[in-house]
Structure 1
Amino acid sequence: MSPIEAAEVGAVIVFYHPDNACIERANRVGRMCRCVVVDNTPAGSAENEARPLLDPGIAYLPNGRNVGIATALNQGVAQLIADGRMFAMLFDQDSEPTEELIGELTSVLRACEQRHERVAVAGPAYEDARLRGVAPFVRFGYFRLKRVMPVGEVPLEVDFLITSGSCINLACWSEVGPMDDALFIDLVDTEWCMRAHARGYRVLGVPWVRMSHELGGKPIRAFGRNYPMHSAVRHYYLFRNVVALLKRGYVPFSWKSTELVKLPARLLIYILFIPDARKHVQMALRGLWHGLAGRMGTL
């Protein structure tokens, strides 16, 4: 990136019990562009000593507790807006960003701005070796997702992007609004993209840009496919937030129909393929109940 381009973009990285590799990745990002680290590690934890290990130019915002991914991202974006940045790269602590990734995504958004196109966010295709290669982009279909292979040299219209590696056009932030704090974690990125669509903005997958990223925990093999797995607590948030979004009017029915199919399928996978099935099912059902009752925020 040129100095002018670097002055336009900043990055937000959310920490939660980071190890030394996470801190080194953040330092590398800080040498590419303005970097804000928001730390959700609880106070008193051994990993709550990140500041001395981060480069001095990195803005460090420790929360002293886990306030959720949505709130942490909002804090970081607010700092970048105050710094006068036009674009915000969002990263998980375990993602592997490159200067090419940042440069290509900001170039795509800059070109869209010059053509007066309403684009909210652009993101790369991500590679997870555990899930056998490059993941497709996704569009919503009735009762099933439509997978779009990341090929070609033209940005692809998609319905949502995962948070990590995505680049937000901050010109739309005030109109679309911040990430939904009430969701805490899970579907935060999906909901924001759906809200951006509802306000007339596009979401673009950039097929020629790749990022290494591990989605979820260790995958399990079920029904002939690899599925990224999470903790029982994450399954609570997933089920709760799905139910919460099913009740929202701007969420497209195509997504709702797919989730109504996937919810019982997920429970079946937990029962048949996870060793500690009972705990996962209990937390998922608790999430369903809280979603119906409107109990949001942290568990």
Structure 2
Amino acid sequence: MRRPIPSRDPESSPDHGPVGSVAGVVTAFQPEDELTRAVEAVRAQVGVVVVVLDEADPSATTRAVLDACRALGADVVLHGDNRGIGAALNTGIARARELLPTTTHVLTLDQDSAVPAGYTSALLAAGAAADRAGVPVGMLAPDTVGSIVRLPGLRHRQAPGGVVIGDEPIQSGLLVPVTALDAVGGFDEGLFIDGVDTDFYLRASDLGLRCVVAPGIRLEHRLGRAITLGSGRELPLLVAATFRYHYQWRNLVALLSSHARRHPVWAGRAVVRSVRHLVIVTALAPGRLARLREAARGAAAGVRGETGKRPD
């Protein structure tokens, strides 16, 4: 297998070493040109890029997109089946560390997230500041993510040395030290998709590791479609694909079972946030019965302890 082309424009963080020691892992499912743009954006900010295609029987369009990623220097791994985001991340991380044995950090990205210039260096600098202040780093995250509205009570807070500590981040755009990966363990493949980042964050918190935020850094990423009112005004709330509500509610039950006792504040916020979201999208977005059905079935599956891909 052809090894990836080295970064053409390596950046560095004077306090925390070169970005050439960072490995980028991009997960993909039925990708379009957005995946190529994501690879192109990140390739100059990391030492190696690994794309993991998490599906069976890719189409001709998908194969063409993957060829374009290879031409940009990405190493492409084919899962051969749809095993979920957790499995794709674990596969990509293992491959990246094989290709780049000196990896110090892993940058995880979804196919529809393109990092801005200087993104990796900014997160590394935030990590270096945390190291100097004695703040143990479990993950480094952007200050804001395009489609995410941070709720009251989930605000960032200051730590010694001006370090900014965040609450649970989303997985895309996350920079994770390999020391934290080794300590926390891989991403939970049983969750399949939703809640994988939350589970990792909570397990890191159990070890005293923090989510450190790079102030002023923004990642453009969209988690669903916006609710549009009759006036044409968009609400700052997104509707996920209907099937995702199965995973959201199944995995909420699973996460509460695993983490609520040690993280009661998180648990209370998670329940309120999930109920609030479901109530609003039920009231304002079409497809409400199918969405409620998926949420109910997902919650029941969580009570039964089901994991992995939901039955078709």
TM range (shorter): 0.7 to 0.9
Aligned to 2:205: 197
Farther-moved stretch of structure 1 (243-252 vs 225-234): 243-252
TM-aligned CA deviation for residue 274 of structure 1: 2.1
- Which of 66, 69, 78 aligns to 1:54? It is 69
TM-aligned CA deviation for residue 290 of structure 1: 0.3
Farther-moved stretch of structure 1 (114-123 vs 94-103): 114-123
Could you tell me how far apart the structure 1 residues matched to 2:154 and 2:288 are? 29
Q: Quick check: 1:41 aligned with 2:55?
A: yes
- Which of 217, 235, 239 aligns to 2:224? It is 217
- CA deviations 1:269-295 (Å, max 9, x no partner) are 343222111110100000000000001
Farther-moved stretch of structure 1 (66-75 vs 78-87): 78-87
Q: Quick check: 1:178 aligned with 2:186?
A: yes
Q: How does 1:160-171 map onto structure 2 within 5 Å?
A: 160-171=168-179
Q: Would the alpha carbon gap of residues 263 and 102 (structure 1) be closer, same or farther in structure 2, given more than 3 Å must change?
A: closer
Match for 1:74: what amino acid? Answer: N
- Which of 1, 15, 18 aligns to 1:5? It is 18
Q: Is the 8 A contact 2:204 2:210 kept in 1?
A: yes
Q: Is the 8 A contact 1:219 1:228 kept in 2?
A: yes
Q: Quick check: 1:279 aligned with 2:290?
A: yes
Match for 2:265: what amino acid? Answer: S
* Percentage of pairs with the same residue: 25
Aligned to 1:19: 32
Q: Would the alpha carbon gap of residues 98 and 271 (structure 1) be closer, same or farther in structure 2, given more than 3 Å must change?
A: closer
Could you tell me how far apart the structure 1 residues matched to 2:154 and 2:235 are? 15
Secondary structure of 2:214's counterpart equals strand
Q: Is the 8 A contact 2:195 2:251 kept in 1?
A: yes
Q: Quick check: 1:29 aligned with 2:47?
A: no
Number of aligned residue pairs: give it. Answer: 286
- CA deviations 1:126-173 (Å, max 9, x no partner) are 342xx5xx844x7xxxxxx5132699x943112211111111011121
TM-aligned CA deviation for residue 211 of structure 1: 1.8
TM-score by length of 1: 0.86
- CA deviations 1:187-242 (Å, max 9, x no partner) are 1111111110001111112222122222x2111168x9521110111011000000
Aligned to 1:291: 302
Aligned to 2:167: 159
Q: Quick check: 1:97 aligned with 2:97?
A: no
Aligned to 1:236: 246
TM-aligned CA deviation for residue 183 of structure 1: 0.6
Aligned to 2:216: 208
Aligned to 1:147: 154
Q: Would the alpha carbon gap of residues 47 and 63 (structure 1) be closer, same or farther in structure 2, given more than 3 Å must change?
A: farther
Aligned to 2:126: 108
Q: Is the 8 A contact 1:96 1:212 kept in 2?
A: yes
- CA deviations 1:241-261 (Å, max 9, x no partner) are 001111114651112122333
Q: Is the 8 A contact 2:45 2:118 kept in 1?
A: no
Unaligned runs of 5+ in 2: 1-10
TM-score by length of 2: 0.83
Q: Is the 8 A contact 1:112 1:118 kept in 2?
A: yes
Q: Is the 8 A contact 2:23 2:97 kept in 1?
A: no
TM-aligned CA deviation for residue 113 of structure 1: 4.1
